[in-house]
């Protein structure tokens, strides 16, 4: 099998759409918040029922992921996030604080993505490279490195936009508006960014297996030795 064939086989073996989130991951991240704002709105903005409804939905999604053989880390992580949000809102008595952890995460993600680009290690490449079996060999491929940088800019833009729009609503205590805006900026924007990311990465050259790159380095290191031996003869 040639290097090119190995590269194409490797690329076909990984679903980039799943690596970028997947349908279940999107549902887990959005459904509890959707349930919270719906119950909070229709129930006269009473906090406790909305919190319990969100926790219940998060628990159901956690069980679904585990039953389907999904990652226990992601399943429990999603549940923990909702539980933390509910705890803060319950202890403070402020419904807007249900969205505080998520708001902090959005701002934090934006900073991390931006820094990764500025230092030449775009975060999408750092995350997807090992999943695609190429490790960090993409840094030696100008086109793949450019693709990962473009995709990282997309995700930075998404997190920055969410943070910039939702922070003023949180500071003004506009909980209902914040909840619906967060919902509107959740699945739709995520779907667009994930799809654009998928298109950019699939148009880039296929990932190069780490083993193939190592073999090239090894062969390159052997060439001078062979040439020296010929000169000696």
pLDDT digits (tens, 9 = 90+) for 1-26: 444 444 444 444 444 555 554 455 55
Share of the chain above pLDDT 70, in %: 76
d(CA 210, CA 172): 51
d(CA 56, CA 41): 17
pLDDT at residue number 155: 96
Judge residue 138's burial from the number of C-beta atoms within 10 Å of its C-beta, 0-12 exposed, 13-18 middle, 19 or more buried: buried
d(CA 57, CA 81): 13
3-state secondary structure 63-104: HHHHHCCCCHHHHHHHHHHHHHHHHHHHHHCCHHHHHHHHHH
**Mean per-residue pLDDT over the chain, rounded:** 82
- How many C-beta neighbours within 10 Å does residue 9 have? 13
Rounded to an integer, the average pLDDT of 151-155 is 97
CA dist 148 to 38, 113, 124, 190, Å?
A: 37, 11, 6, 17
Judge residue 229's burial from the number of C-beta atoms within 10 Å of its C-beta, 0-12 exposed, 13-18 middle, 19 or more buried: exposed
Token pair 């230092």 in the structure block, residue: 119
CA dist 20 to 41, 95, 212, Å?
A: 32, 31, 25
pLDDT at residue number 77: 81
pLDDT digits (tens, 9 = 90+) for 121-145: 999 999 999 888 889 999 999 999 9
CA dist 98 to 41, 51, 88, 168, 172, Å?
A: 14, 8, 7, 15, 14
């Amino acid at each position: 099998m040639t290097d090119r064939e190995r590269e194409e086989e490797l690329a076909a073996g990984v679903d980039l759409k799943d690596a970028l989130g997947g349908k279940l991951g999107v549902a887990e991240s959005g459904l509890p918040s959707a349930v919270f704002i719906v119950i909070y709105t229709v129930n006269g903005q009473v906090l406790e029922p909305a919190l319990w409804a969100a926790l219940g939905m998060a628990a159901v999604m956690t069980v679904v992921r585990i039953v389907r053989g999904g990652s226990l880390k992601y399943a429990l992580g999603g549940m923990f996030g909702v539980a933390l949000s509910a705890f803060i809102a319950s202890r403070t008595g402020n419904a807007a604080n249900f969205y505080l952890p998520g708001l902090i995460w959005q701002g934090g993600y934006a900073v991390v993505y931006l820094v990764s680009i500025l230092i030449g290690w775009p975060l999408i490449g750092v995350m997807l490279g090992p999943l695609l079996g190429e490790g960090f060999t993409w840094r030696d491929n100008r086109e793949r490195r450019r693709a990962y940088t473009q995709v990282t800019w997309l995700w930075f833009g998404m997190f920055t936009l969410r943070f910039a729009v939702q922070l003023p609503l949180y500071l003004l205590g506009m909980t209902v508006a914040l909840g619906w805006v967060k919902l509107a900026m959740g699945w739709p924007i995520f779907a667009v960014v994930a799809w654009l990311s998928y298109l950019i990465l699939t148009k880039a050259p296929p990932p190069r297996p780490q083993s193939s790159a190592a073999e090239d380095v090894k062969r390159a290191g052997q060439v001078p030795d062979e040439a020296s031996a010929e000169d000696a003869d």
